[in-house]
Each structure stands twice: as structure tokens, then as C-alpha cells.
């Protein structure tokens, strides 16, 4: 019998999705990329090793794999982003028919996906760029899926996607048609930006717990667990609490891990996109920068000697500090989500994608890496609102916690802790809520040195004006 879905790419994600499908009753064929002509048996071996799933078939030849698929063919690519996707599509084109569907389930840059959508639609091939979140475990047991592109093709795929996706609180699948073109990859990229911000904010918080408050790793884990039960539930806090406690050969594993963070690019793409669509995203820039700074361990070690850098512990009352820190982290988390959703709003408006933020938040309530109680709240909130800073219940919290964030950032910096995401978030908040920004001075400077013009507060038409600042200056001097 023919397979209903074909998966190309036998990395962890491809394998896990294949097993997930086979387990949920979907006949699935798998194939692994390899140099043509070179013998390789990864896909057939994988199927042979998983004989408990009779719906799983493995093929080591691309043509045979393609002909094993029911029409219209539904081929899911689970291969690295970039050129590999274009190459794979090129290899597939002569083997498939008009009306067949290619799904890209990797972390592709959404502008590449926009281009591929347009190119493939001209050829009559349906393209579905699809964000997939949840890592290996999510892919195996139920990921959050963010498909976009050709809507008719989505309708042909939706039953399969709903079967394998995670379920939200009400039992609905964590998958929705996101929007046209590469919208699914776009929101996955922003998902990762929120992920980067969240990870860095928690890393800063844990550093303060350990070296500012002098808590042991298990004590720090206990604090996080209290926060989880105290209203801040999230997957990230949960895995972090686990990480802080886990030992290997009687040593805390965390302290054995080299402090050099890596990244695969989605954070940087989001920064580029935020710049392109004029959407402030300083906290993400700081999260990416923090990873970059960490990468040069040797340089940091040398400089820490030269500058005698060491963290200084807080002398303040621990219980009070913990309360400040909890609120500071909680507010950072809200601001981090606000900036991410704002970027999505700006791009959605510019590209007329009409993204549904309530649905996006809903499919992020389970299966994905950034699932949290806040996301559940946002899924409801976005049903009738669009800006987190206008969320009535959150406004109260933001007002209440702002002094805590300012206090923690101030104290942390004075005690030699780098708090890039926490401080960027506070600066962003202050920048958003001030009626009196310092930008009038920027405009005056621009006009003074470069005649770039400015607008006046008392001119309702907002006409561009230029002042001859030097002449004014000498006139005033002469008057004196």
C-alpha cells in the first residue's frame, strides 16, 4: 500500500516525526539524503529497526521513495535550512507532479520560504513552509506546528498534522493555518526570539540567585519551583529547575558545562527582520550579543584577571531580594513577549498577512519550547485585544513590578553582574511609556549639524522645518 506522507531527512526531528506519524496510524515513508550513486541504508535500517510500527517504510532511493507515495504526494522535508532545501526541491521536481505538496518543516528563513512559495506555485507545486517546535521529545510525542503557504494544500494536510500535534488545554491540536507564504517560518523565527530572550532572562536570574544571593544549586532550583507554583509556570523554568539539580558522578552537571553559548541563526534573522520592519527589539539583540560575548572563553578569562572581575554578593535581606527578583523576572518575561508579538504585528501589517495572534498564542500553549501560563493567558487575551501593554490585568502587574525590575537591574549592575536582557527590557518599557522622550534633542542635533529638519509640537500639520542654528547662536551672543 502507498504511504500517505513521505519524510526526507533522518536527523532526530525527521525520525521522531516519522515514528509519531506511524504511531498515530499514518502510513509514512522515509528517505535520507545522500550523494546519488553512493550506497546508504540509513532510511531502510531505521524502518527495519522499528518493525513494531508496520506503517513505517524506509527507502534508500529517492525515485522509489517518491513512487511509494499516494497522490497528491505529501513530502515533508526535515533537513537543514539554507541551500540544502533548494537542492532537495530541485532533485524532487522532475520526480513529482503538479498538485503535489512539499512541506518544509525546518527552521528556514521566512524570506527564503516566501521566495520558494512563489517559485513553486508557478510550477503548480504546493509549498507549505511549516515551523515545528518542541525539540526531539515534542516531535516524537506532539510538537507545536506552524504551517503556512498554499491554503488548499494545508486543507489536504491538516488531518495528518492535527493527529501528530500536541493538544491544548481544551483538547484542540496545537496546529493552525498561520497565513500565506512563509508566515509559518516567520512566526517560528519569532518563537525562537522569545525563546532566546526567555533563556537569557532565566540565565541572568539564576546567576543572581547563585552568586548574588549565595544560594546553592538545589536551593536555587527550589526557588524556581516556588515561582512555578506561584503563578509563573513555564516549560523553561521547569527544565531549568531540573538542570540546577541534576548531578553526574556526584557533581552538578551544570558546573561541568563550558560557559560558551552557541546559536544556529534564528535569533540573528529576527534582529535583521526587526530592523527591516522598524520594530524595536533590543532585548533580543542583547540575548544574541550575550551568546556572542560568551563564545570567547579565553579572552574573557584573561580579561577577568586583568580587571579583577568577580561577582559581589548582596548584603540585603534574602527574602526581600527574592521577592524583588521574582517580580523583576516576571516583568522581563512579559516585556519579552510584548516585543516578540509586536514584531509579528508589524510584519503582519506590512505584508498584509492578517496573522491571528490568539491562534498563534494558542498553538504555543503546548508542544513548543515557550509554553507557559503567560502564553495561555495571551491566547485568551488576543481574542479581543492586540497589544500586551493594553492588557488590563497585566497593566496592574507591570506597574507593580517596574520598581522591582529597576531595583534588581541597578543592584545587579552595581555588584558586577551583566544583566543584558533584564536591563534592555526595562529600557524598552521606559521608552514605550514615556510621553517625554529625549528625541527632541536628537532632532535638534540632526538639524544643527546636517539640516535634517524637525517637526514642531505646535504645528498640527507636522511640516518639516530647518533652523539656521549658528546664525541664531551668534544673534543671541550679540544681544548679550
Instruction: State the residues that interact with ligand 6PG by CB under 6 A.
Output: 107, 133-135, 192, 195, 263-264, 266, 368-369
From the candidates 15, 23, 74, 195, give the one annotated as an active-site residue.
195
Residue 90 known to be catalytic: no
Q: Using a CB cutoff of 8 Å and minimum separation of 24, what contacts does 314-318 make? A: 314/212, 314/213, 314/411, 314/415, 316/411, 318/213
Q: How far apart are CB 109 and ligand 6PG at their closest, in Å?
A: 13
Nearer to ligand 6PG, 66 or 164 (CB): 164
Q: What is the closest distance, in whole angstroms, from the C-beta atom of residue 217 to ligand 6PG in the complex?
A: 23
Q: Residue 106 CB, nearest distance to ligand 6PG (Å)?
A: 9
- The residue nearest ligand 6PG at its CB is 133
Q: Which is nearer to ligand 6PG, 161 or 368 (CB)?
A: 368
Closest CA to 271 of 291, 285, 259: 285
Question: Closest distance between ligand 6PG and the C-beta of residue 132, in Å?
Answer: 7
Q: Give the nearer residue to ligand 6PG in terms of CB position, either 134 or 184.
A: 134
Is there a catalytic annotation at residue 195? yes
Residue with Cβ nearer ligand 6PG (145 or 405): 145
Residue placing its CB nearer to ligand 6PG in the complex, 23 or 195:
195
**Min. distance of Cβ 444 from ligand 6PG in angstroms?**
41
Point out the catalytic residue in the list 15, 74, 188, 326: 188
Q: Rank residues 28 and 369 by Cβ distance to ligand 6PG and give the closer one.
A: 369
Question: Which residues touch 169 (CB under 8 Å, ≥6 apart)?
Answer: 365, 366, 376
d(CA 44, CA 226): 48
Least distance in angstroms from the C-beta of 143 to ligand 6PG: 8
Catalytic residues: 188, 195
Amino acid at each position: 500500500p502507498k504511504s500517505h506522507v513521505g519524510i526526507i531527512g533522518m536527523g532526530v526531528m525527521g525520525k521522531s516525526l516519522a515514528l509519531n506519524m506511524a504511531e498515530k496510524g499514518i502510513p509514512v515513508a522515509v528517505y535520507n539524503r545522500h550523494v546519488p550513486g553512493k550506497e546508504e541504508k540509513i532510511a531502510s535500517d531505521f524502518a527495519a529497526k522499528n518493525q513494531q510500527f508496520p506503517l513505517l517504510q524506509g527507502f534508500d532511493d529517492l525515485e522509489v521513495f517518491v513512487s511509494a507515495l499516494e497522490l497528491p504526494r505529501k513530502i515533508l522535508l526535515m533537513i537543514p535550512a539554507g541551500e540544502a532545501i533548494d537542492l532537495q526541491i530541485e532533485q524532487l521536481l522532475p520526480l513529482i507532479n503538479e498538485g503535489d505538496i512539499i512541506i518544509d518543516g525546518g527552521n528556514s528563513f521566512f524570506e527564503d520560504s516566501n521566495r520558494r512559495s512563489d517559485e513553486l506555485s508557478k510550477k503548480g507545486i504546493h509549498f507549505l513552509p511549516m515551523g515545528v517546535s518542541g525539540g526531539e521529545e515534542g516531535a516524537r510525542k506532539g510538537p507545536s506546528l506552524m504551517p503556512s503557504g498554499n491554503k488548499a494544500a494545508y486543507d489536504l494536510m491538516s488531518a495528518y498534522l492535527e493527529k501528530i500535534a500536541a493538544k491544548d488545554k481544551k483538547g484542540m491540536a496545537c496546529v493552525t493555518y498561520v497565513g500565506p507564504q512563509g508566515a509559518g517560518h516567520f512566526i517560528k523565527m519569532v518563537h525562537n526570539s522569545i525563546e532566546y530572550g526567555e533563556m537569557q532572562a532565566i540565565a541572568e536570574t539564576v546567576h543572581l540567585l547563585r552568586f548574588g544571593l549565595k544560594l546553592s544549586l538545589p536551593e536555587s532550583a527550589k526557588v524556581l519551583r516556588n515561582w512555578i507554583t506561584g503563578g509563573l509556570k513555564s516549560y523553561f523554568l521547569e527544565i531549568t529547575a531540573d538542570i540546577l539539580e541534576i548531578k553526574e558522578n556526584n557533581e552538578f552537571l551544570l558546573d561541568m558545562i563550558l560557559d560558551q553559548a552557541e546559536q544556529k541563526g534564528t535569533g540573528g534573522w529576527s534582529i535583521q527582520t526587526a530592523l527591516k520592519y522598524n520594530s524595536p527589539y533590543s532585548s533580543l539583540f542583547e540575548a544574541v550579543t550575550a551568546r556572542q560575548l560568551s563564545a570567547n572563553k579565553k579572552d574573557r578569562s584573561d580579561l577577568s584577571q586583568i580587571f579583577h572581575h568577580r561577582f559581589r554578593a548582596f548584603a540585603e535581606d534574602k527574602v526581600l531580594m527574592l521577592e524583588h527578583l521574582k517580580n523583576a523576572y516576571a516583568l522581563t518575561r512579559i516585556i519579552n513577549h510584548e516585543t516578540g508579538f509586536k514584531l509579528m504585528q508589524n510584519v503582519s501589517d506590512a505584508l498584509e498577512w492578517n496573522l491571528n495572534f490568539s491562534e498563534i498564542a494558542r498553538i504555543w500553549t503546548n508542544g513548543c519550547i515557550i509554553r507557559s501560563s503567560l502564553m495561555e493567558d495571551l491566547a485568551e487575551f488576543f481574542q479581543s485585544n492586540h497589544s500586551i501593554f493594553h492588557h488590563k490585568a497585566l497593566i496592574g502587574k507591570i506597574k507593580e513590578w517596574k520598581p522591582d525590575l529597576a531595583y534588581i537591574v541597578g543592584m545587579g549592575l552595581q555588584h558586577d553582574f551583566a544583566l543584558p536582557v533584564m536591563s534592555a527590557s526595562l529600557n524598552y518599557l521606559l521608552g514605550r511609556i514615556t510621553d517625554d522622550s529625549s528625541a527632541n534633542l536628537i532632532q535638534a542635533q540632526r538639524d544643527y549639524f546636517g539640516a535634517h529638519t524637525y517637526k514642531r509640537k505646535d504645528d498640527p500639520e507636522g511640516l518639516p522645518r530647518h533652523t539656521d542654528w549658528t546664525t541664531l547662536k551668534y544673534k543671541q551672543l550679540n544681544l548679550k
